[in-house]
Amino acid sequence: MKKNLRDAILWYAIQNDGDWKQIAHCLQVKAPYKKVEYAYPFVTRADKEYPRCFLKLRYPPWILFYQGKLSYLSKKCVGIIGARYCTDQALKNTREVVNILKKKYVIVSGLAKGIDAMAHK
Among residues 50, 57, 101, which one has the least CA distance to residue 78?
101
The confidence band for 81, taking pLDDT boundaries of 50, 70 and 90, is: confident
pLDDT tens-digit map of 52-61 = 888 889 999 9
- Whether pLDDT at 15 is above 90: yes
Local confidence band at 3 (pLDDT 50, 70, 90 cut-offs): low
- Residue 102: count of CB within 10 angstroms of its CB: 12
**Digit-coded pLDDT (tens) for 17-54:** 999 999 999 999 999 999 999 999 999 999 999 988 88
Distance CA(121)–CA(116), nearest Å, equals 9
